[in-house]
Amino acid sequence: VEVRLSIPAVDDWHVHVRDGAMLRAVAPFTARWCRTAMVMPNLRPPIDSWQSARAYREEIISVTQSVNPDFSPRIAVYLSPALELEDLRAGFAAGDIAAVKFYPAGATTNSDQGMGSLQSYLPLLEEMASIGVRLLVHCESTDPEVDIFDREARFLDDELLAVRQELPDLDITVEHLSTAAGLDFVRSHPRTHGTVTPHHLRSDRNDLLASGMQPDLFCKPVLNSARDRRALLDAVCEGEPRVSFGTDSAPHSMAAKRAETIAAGVFNAPFALEVVAELLHQEGALDALGGFVARNGWAAYGMDPPPFDLELVRHDRAERPRTVDVDEHTSVVVYGVEPARHWTVSRIPQ
Ligand SMILES: [Zn+2]
């Protein structure tokens, strides 16, 4: 039986599109179905000023315009001692800066510019609350004593909870929820939102480790237990309004994913929507798709409906590419090829 549904254009609330040749190869995949995407600032050097945010935004638009002229990326700037309040205020007012992203130092790719403690930024965070700038948080303890599977929960307890309580007017997004503990945190505090990735909904640490180590599934925060994955998927299927689609698509070259020390990141931009559609189809919850990938984010950010809709059709298995070429020497492995074989997405103009 053919399944056919239409949903609003998607918003991706967490994506890495990199720069240079990688940007040109990967950003068009995000722009195809999205009205907007929150682009992360962990480049070298990091995006940490109005000027660098504006230049990066313009560069992204220049490589996505031919795919979707309606695509309007949002840039999150890097929270570090280099970020200046007046510059942030002006860049936010101009629409070139959309949010501020905090990384614990060393937690993931190019995050060594961060400073250890979120609390050390309280004066700046207080100003952000007063001007309405959202704080996006990579919640992962970097304490080497803490087990890797407990790091999200520990960061929430040890660092984010105090900030949450100190600044009740600050809008906070807990990025890439990976545990039931993270979901509980989001649900139990006002003005607190969460993003969820396709790979944390579909895969768990058994997929990563149990049948031979799968480097393409290695990401931060690490895929956690089957129980955690189930809690996240149940929340999405039930239409939990406090979570929205954030792919955390994070491309690395195949060489970096096959190296002695494997880079953290899953490249899912080509099939992120198809992965979620197939999961919800399997759960009998396709009616929750439009809320998760579109409307929940509109509610959090106070947005109007998008200028176009999407049509999704489920069909027999079709061929799908397993890699994307960046240049003649570099390719990136794509996540979610199997579920994507059942789905075709197209754009419906309004
Ligand atoms: Zn990320």
Q: 306-319 burial string, b = 16+ CB within 10 Å, else e? A: beebbebebeeeee
203: closest CA among 184, 221, 186, 185?
221
Token couple for 212:
């031979």
What's the full length of the chain, in residues?
350
- Taking the centre of ligand 1 as the mean of its atom positions, its distance from the CA of residue 14, in whole angstroms, is 6
272: closest CA among 205, 215, 336, 176?
336
- Taking the centre of ligand 1 as the mean of its atom positions, its distance from the CA of residue 317, in whole angstroms, is 30
Angle, to 10 degrees, between the axis of helix 50-64 and the axis of helix 85-93?
40
pLDDT attached to residue 160: 98
Give backbone dihedrals phi and psi of 311, rounded to 5 degrees, phi first: -115, 135
Degrees, nearest 5: CA angle 157-162-163: 120
Distance CA 220, CA 223 (A): 8
Which residues are annotated as catalytic?
Answer: 248
- Taking the centre of ligand 1 as the mean of its atom positions, its distance from the CA of residue 16, in whole angstroms, is 6
The pTM is what? 0.96
Distance CA 255, CA 99 (A): 32
Report residues near ion ligand 1: CB below 5 Å: 248
Distance CA 114, CA 102 (A): 7
- Taking the centre of ligand 1 as the mean of its atom positions, its distance from the CA of residue 41, in whole angstroms, is 9
Structural contact between residues 153 and 226, judged by C-beta atoms closer than 8 angstroms:
no
DSSP string, 256-296: HHTSSSPPP-B--TTTHHHHHHHHHHHTT-GGGHHIIIIIH
- Taking the centre of ligand 1 as the mean of its atom positions, its distance from the CA of residue 114, in whole angstroms, is 14
Distance CA 104, CA 139 (A): 8
* Ranges of the chain with pLDDT below 50: none
- Taking the centre of ligand 1 as the mean of its atom positions, its distance from the CA of residue 65, in whole angstroms, is 23
DSSP string, 132-145: TPEEEE------TT
Structural contact between residues 180 and 204, judged by C-beta atoms closer than 8 angstroms:
no
- Taking the centre of ligand 1 as the mean of its atom positions, its distance from the CA of residue 141, in whole angstroms, is 15
Structural contact between residues 225 and 149, judged by C-beta atoms closer than 8 angstroms:
yes
Structural contact between residues 135 and 125, judged by C-beta atoms closer than 8 angstroms:
yes
- Taking the centre of ligand 1 as the mean of its atom positions, its distance from the CA of residue 3, in whole angstroms, is 32
- Taking the centre of ligand 1 as the mean of its atom positions, its distance from the CA of residue 334, in whole angstroms, is 16
Token couple for 338:
């199997």
- Taking the centre of ligand 1 as the mean of its atom positions, its distance from the CA of residue 223, in whole angstroms, is 13
User: Which H/E stretch holds residue 32?
Assistant: helix 20-33
